[in-house]
Structure 1
Amino acid sequence: MIYAVWVPLLMPLLAVPAARRAAAWLPPRAAAWTLAGFSIGLATSSTAALVLLASAGALRLPLVAAFAHLSPPLLGDDSPALLPASILAVLALAAGAVTLVRTGLRQRREMRAAHAGSPDAADELSVRPDELPYAYALPGRPGRIVVTTGMLRALDAREREVLFAHERAHLRGRHHLFLSAAELAVTLHPMLRGLREPLAYALERWADESAATATGDRALTARAIGRAALAAAGTPGAVARPRTALAATAGPVPRRVTALLSTGATTGRPRRALRRAPVVALLVCAALTAGTLAEAAYDLHTDVEVAQGEAQIPR
């Protein structure tokens, strides 16, 4: 079992690059779901592996063995690396739990502070009297589009509609939950940090496409996003907003504008094969993770049954 549990713990080394490459080929919505899903799945799998590893060591403690009515010498895996690995697993679980709680509380504080600083509005639009041009989607009940007078002056009427459609797509799609889940996943497995940036990009592209569909003009959407980003780039310092609140001016804007203006021409057969390769790699990573985790759980269960005298020792 001690060897099988290492696969879920080390799988992000392979899965993260494969997920980033797959996200680059997938449509924005599919890419966002894929990245968020793998972040949660890999974090959950690695946490389960740590729990199995910690349990294997804990069962060898006399007090735990007596409580479980088992004989430690019959537990099977007597690798000298088991005890130190179990101790490290317990420490990792404790650190992850503390960081998870702290991150969740910080996200909640940021959202509350942002809502407290937003003036009440009869509709979803909350206009702040501020010369700094910025805008972002503030989730909550109700969700609001926070925009400053500076940003409104930087855009014309049609470009404002694009901006509102973009931020509205973030609110309706509940995109903050994707970012929040990815951020919480990183607290459980730091190797997943590499998925947060492509996930944020996929969410912005998702909102870009929604805005282009709502306005019916991709060129206008690209121009509005570019002008809003240029206006926001001239502000002194970063605007304080929740980390999980998305904004149309965030991320690699030139790349997003290029994607909006692209013709979307079909690609040849070799190019389609290249698109499938990262997706296949992700499926292989998922299968390996699930298989080795199930194998580790089965091995531990079998060892416990043998140590309790409920099963014969395998030969």
Structure 2
Amino acid sequence: MHVAVYLPLLFPLPAALLARPVGERLPPRPATWLLTVGALVLAAAGTAALGMLAVTGLIRIPLLARLSHHHWSVLAAQHHDPASLSTALLAGTLAAAVTLLAGRMLWLRARTLAEAASEAACLPGNDQLVVLDDPAAEAYAIPGRPGRIVISTGMLDALDPIEHQVLLAHERAHLSQRHHLFVACAQLAAAANPLLRPLAHAVGYTVERWADETAGAAVGDRARVARAIGKAAIASRRTADQPGRRLPAAVLGFLGRLRPAPLPGPVPRRVTALLAPVPRRPAWPALVLGALALAAAACALEAGLDLDALLDLVKRAATGHGAH
């Protein structure tokens, strides 16, 4: 545990720097999977490392040794434990905080998805598509059973008939590919480790790119998708921001935003990506991010084996079969 237990706490730093390059240099579908799984693995490995460090502090407490059914030697623990007591206490505090934050995020996301499903069920009609008589240019998908696609008349007026097909294909991709779950998992990882927030932001971008490419394949013209996104963004900027408008936080929209917003940001990046060839080969940032996630998992496993050996040693020391 001397080194292995600390490395999972450091790996999120370079991973955060790789998040945006991975999202832009890898095709969106594998990029979304890699960023989401990588974030979850890095968060789990870091949380496990904090927990293991906390355990090394707990086994030094004489009262716990006496109360436990599994007796161990406190002296042996103090002698063989590689981490200082102050480090163990700090790790325990951080582990408790991380658990609370992750639990809170899990509860909020579950409640948000439940609210979205309820909202989808309450929309008028039985079809997947719902058209609202609203001058605001909006289009978004609401996950549920079944999921619903909501498009305003303002958005329909801003686009031509071919671009309507683009819009529908984009929103259907969000529902059929369960993009809201990727976003939720990445946000959960970021709650457990704030250093992973860039990966969560990147997942929010790549799911939109994934839906863009799906729409491009459906209409057979990626440039048409880029023009539709640009026109929708301009229409959204011209729309008056209506006070009191509220949408479920789980929805995913055609512009990647739920409210009219300034044009600079993810939208121009998506348009640029659609006007360029789709990346075909894994880029080095993706390989490095994957290697970091695998290394974090391996280090956490190694630290777990070392902790198991330490616990076995202090138990044997308590029965006189090991050194005190």
Contact 1:107 1:242 in 2 (8 A): no
User: What is the CA distance between 1:264 and its match in structure 2?
Assistant: 5.1
Q: 2:262 matched to which residue of 1?
A: none
Contact 2:27 2:278 in 1 (8 A): no
Q: 1:52 matched to which residue of 2?
A: 52
- Spell out, residue by residue over 1:93-117, the C-alpha distance to the aligned partner (whole angstroms, 9 max, x if none): 2222322232233334434444438
User: What is the CA distance between 1:222 and its match in structure 2?
Assistant: 1.6
Find the aligned partners of 1:262 and 1:282 in 2 and give their Cα distance. Answer: 24
Find the aligned partners of 1:96 and 1:215 in 2 and give their Cα distance. Answer: 45
Q: 1:299 aligned to 2:313?
A: no
Letter in 1 for 2:71: H
Point out the more displaced range, 302-311 or 230-239: 230-239
Contact 2:26 2:283 in 1 (8 A): no
Q: 1:23 matched to which residue of 2?
A: 23
Q: 1:116 matched to which residue of 2?
A: 119
Q: 1:247 aligns with which of 241, 253, 276?
A: 253
Find the aligned partners of 1:145 and 1:265 in 2 and give their Cα distance. Answer: 29
Q: Which runs of 5+ in 2 are unaligned?
A: 257-264
Q: 1:211 matched to which residue of 2?
A: 215
The change in CA–CA distance for 1:287 and 1:219 in structure 2 (over 3 A counts) is closer
Alignment of 1:235-314 (within 5 A): 235-237=239-241, 240-250=246-256, 252-263=266-277, 276-309=283-316, 312=322
Q: 1:37 matched to which residue of 2?
A: 37
Alignment of 1:175-214 (within 5 A): 175-214=179-218
Q: Which runs of 5+ in 1 are unaligned?
A: 267-271
Structure 2 length as normaliser, TM-score? 0.85
Aligned Cα root-mean-square deviation (Å): 2.5
Find the aligned partners of 2:156 and 2:149 in 1 and give their Cα distance. Answer: 12
Find the aligned partners of 2:190 and 2:310 in 1 and give their Cα distance. Answer: 32
User: What is the CA distance between 1:73 and its match in structure 2?
Assistant: 1.1
Find the aligned partners of 1:78 and 1:104 in 2 and give their Cα distance. Answer: 34
Letter in 2 for 1:260: L
User: What is the CA distance between 1:7 and its match in structure 2?
Assistant: 0.8
Q: 2:158 aligns with which of 130, 140, 154?
A: 154
SS state at 1:309 partner? helix
User: What is the CA distance between 1:247 and its match in structure 2?
Assistant: 1.2
Q: 1:104 matched to which residue of 2?
A: 106
Find the aligned partners of 1:50 and 1:171 in 2 and give their Cα distance. Answer: 36
Find the aligned partners of 2:246 and 2:206 in 1 and give their Cα distance. Answer: 22
Find the aligned partners of 1:276 and 1:216 in 2 and give their Cα distance. Answer: 26
